[in-house]
Structures are given as structure tokens and as C-alpha cells.
Amino acid sequence: MKRVVEVLCVSEMQMDGLTKDLLMRSDPNAPTFVNCRAYRMLLWTGVKTGNAPVQYTVRGGDQNGWRWTQTGAIQTGANQWFRVAIKIPRRTDWFRIEVSGAPQILRSKIVGVRG
């Protein structure tokens, strides 16, 4: 089976200590991405401008609620690249990627992997 990679999001956000998704929304029930059932993995690459770690939570679900959660921390130094592979344990329609941490700029690119 051929793998297909699709760009879902390219973003830049100023972190301010509050928990928000990559689209700067604070509503914990709002998905960041929808119509994602075909993806078996998300690859998240980016860079952050500060030394402080960025805490993240990835949730997957559908109209019936959130079904799974993955948490972690991006611990790279200032202006260093990071990569997070999010293996999806089951097919899901929605994803929410939330981040929190000390004030700094977070630049991200998220791609979905099909196949």
C-alpha cells in the first residue's frame, strides 16, 4: 500500500502560559482537525524560540466524545527543531492538539500519513 502524506496545518503561535490548540482556540471540546479517519499517524515538526519545555496533549475522538489521549513534552532548546510522531491507536474522525508552556513562539507543521 502506498503511503500518502498530506499537510494539515502550518502555524505560528505566541504561547502565553495558557492551554490552547495549535489554531489558538481555548475551547477544550473544539477539534483542531476534522475528517481524519484515513490517517494512521500524524507527524509534527517545528521549532520553538525559548528554552522552556512545551507540554502537549493530543486527543482523538468523534461526535461521541474523546476516545484516546497522548501527552508529552517538547524539550529542545531555543531555536532547535523538534519532531513528534503521533501513532493513532484507532481510527478517529477528530484530533485536538493542545499546547501549554512559558511564553515563546511555537512554529509547527502537522502532516497526516495515510496508508
Q: Residue 1 has what pLDDT?
A: 64
- Pair 99, 11: CB distance under 8 Å: no
Flag whether 33 is in a domain: yes
What total of structural domains would you count in the chain?
Answer: 1
Distances (CA, A) of 76 to 34, 79, 81: 29, 8, 7
Q: Residue 2 has what pLDDT?
A: 81
Q: Write the DSSP assignment of 54-96 as a string of letters.
A: EEEEEEEEETTEEEEEEEEEE---TTEEEEEEEE-SS--SEEE
Flag whether 66 is in a domain: no
Flag whether 109 is in a domain: yes
Flag whether 59 is in a domain: no
Cell of 20: 490552547
pLDDT in tens, 69-81: 999 999 999 999 9
Flag whether 104 is in a domain: yes
pLDDT in tens, 88-111: 998 899 999 999 999 999 999 999
Q: Which domain holds residue 36?
A: 4-51+72-114
Flag whether 87 is in a domain: yes
Flag whether 28 is in a domain: yes
Look at residue 66 and tell me whether its pLDDT is greater than 70. yes
Flag whether 57 is in a domain: no
